[in-house]
């Protein structure tokens, strides 16, 4: 099953050995971990944040940097912004505890940005490259992962169940990363080496992009631009109802978000060397296909 279900109801351990082992194996093999019985609870006063007008109108997400407490992309100010940041922080800290308790070997996972996505996905206007309704693997132009560091994301659908049973976040996931990479990696043109140096110096990127970063960005863009691939590639629809949570390696699992509003998301970064099965990491798969070291 592409979606591995967990019956747990608490956002912390202890979890049984069998549960922890099952979680790590599923995740590293490109499955999504699905938690249908572990909702993220909003307090009464926080339900006011179920409002599509909460973004600043420019960014599609509101983001929180937990190290500085800085909140970006919101129209909320003053005391309201502080309460929004507190809600996002409670979510992000909870997600971090859950990931560390559930995944036996992930104690060194790094908590990155926390986001809140209050805008309905369906019907928004996007450029092709920023259209996450198209199948893609995550790769970010300004945030190099250098030596193949993983992008792990935990999501919670905090929408309320609508009277018609709606409110689900609707995704599609694609074929295994190795199959996707075998099709697209040979088409990617080698990048101009001076570019990553210049981007770093100009402050376009936070640190220098590696050959792995260039390749992942190319794969992200090539998949979205290939209308034939988008039409004919395998798509498995997945629904995440209000109150459910899920965890997935979005640099590995081809995904598209088609519909839904009000999701919270916590990003983690994780060293390939600390994985149970590092050979499943995108960098190792791409190195095997290209026959080159990419970091």
Whole-number Å distance between alpha carbons of 199 and 202: 5
Handedness of CA 172, 178, 183, 187 (dihedral sign): positive
Asked if 132 interacts with ligand SIN (CB under 6 A), we say: yes
Decide whether 61 or 147 has the Cβ nearer to ligand SIN: 61
169 binds, among Fe ion, ligand SIN, none (CB under 5 to 8 A by kind): ligand SIN
Ranges of H-type helices in the chain: 17-28, 78-102, 177-184, 193-202, 211-225, 227-232, 282-290
The C-alpha angle 197, 198, 204, rounded to 5 degrees, equals 105
* Spatial contact of 240 and 155, defined as CB atoms under 8 Å apart: yes
CB of 150 to Fe ion, least distance (A): 14
Structure tokens at 13: 């351990």
Asked if 224 interacts with ligand SIN (CB under 6 A), we say: no
Q: How many residues bind ligand SIN (CB under 6 A)?
A: 8
How far from chain centre, in Å, is Cα 104? Answer: 21
Whole-number Å distance between alpha carbons of 205 and 181: 24
257 binds, among ligand SIN, Fe ion, none (CB under 5 to 8 A by kind): ligand SIN
Decide whether 103 or 137 has the Cβ nearer to Fe ion: 137
Strand duo 70-72 + 110-117: pairing: unpaired
Residues forming contacts to Fe ion in the complex (CB under 5 A) are 138
Structure tokens at 164: 């018609």
Decide whether 3 or 255 has the Cβ nearer to ligand SIN: 255
The C-alpha angle 61, 83, 34, rounded to 5 degrees, equals 55
Of residues 3, 20, 31, 255, which one binds ligand SIN by CB under 6 A?
255
Decide whether 13 or 141 has the Cβ nearer to Fe ion: 141
Helix (H, G, I), strand (E, B) or coil at 249: strand
Asked if 264 interacts with ligand SIN (CB under 6 A), we say: no
Asked if 84 interacts with ligand SIN (CB under 6 A), we say: no
Decide whether 28 or 138 has the Cβ nearer to Fe ion: 138
Asked if 257 interacts with ligand SIN (CB under 6 A), we say: yes
| Residue span binding ligand SIN (CB under 6 A) among the ranges 82-90, 194-202, 249-257, 286-294 | 249-257
Give me the residues that bind ligand SIN (CB under 6 A), please. Answer: 117, 132, 138, 169, 250, 255, 257, 263
């Amino acid at each position: 099953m592409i979606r591995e279900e967990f019956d747990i109801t608490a956002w912390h351990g202890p979890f049984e050995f069998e549960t922890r082992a099952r979680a790590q194996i599923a995740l590293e093999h490109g499955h999504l971990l699905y938690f249908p019985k572990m909702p993220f609870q909003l307090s009464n006063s926080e339900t006011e944040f179920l409002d599509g007008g909460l973004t600043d109108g420019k960014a599609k997400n509101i983001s929180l940097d937990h190290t500085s407490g800085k909140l970006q992309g919101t129209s909320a100010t003053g005391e309201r912004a502080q309460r929004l940041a507190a809600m996002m922080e409670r979510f992000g800290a909870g997600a971090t505890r859950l990931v560390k308790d559930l995944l036996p070997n992930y104690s060194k996972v790094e908590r990155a940005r926390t986001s809140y996505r209050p805008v309905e996905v369906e019907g928004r206007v996007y450029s092709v490259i920023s259209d996450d309704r198209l199948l893609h693997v995550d790769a970010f132009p300004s945030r190099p992962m250098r030596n193949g560091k993983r992008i792990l994301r935990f999501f919670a659908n905090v929408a309320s169940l609508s009277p018609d049973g709606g409110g689900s976040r609707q995704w599609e996931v694609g074929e295994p990363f190795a199959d996707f990479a075998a099709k697209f990696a040979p088409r990617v043109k080698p990048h101009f080496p001076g570019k990553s140096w210049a981007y770093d110096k100009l402050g376009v990127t936070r640190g220098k992009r590696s050959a792995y970063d260039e390749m992942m960005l190319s794969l992200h863009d090539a998949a979205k631009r290939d209308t034939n691939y988008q039409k004919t590639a395998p798509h498995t629809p997945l629904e995440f109802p209000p109150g459910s949570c899920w965890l997935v390696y979005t640099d590995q699992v081809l995904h598209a978000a088609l519909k839904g509003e009000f999701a919270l998301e916590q990003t983690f970064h994780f060293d390939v060397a600390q994985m149970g099965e590092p050979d499943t990491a995108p960098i190792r798969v791409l190195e095997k296909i290209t026959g080159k070291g990419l970091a």
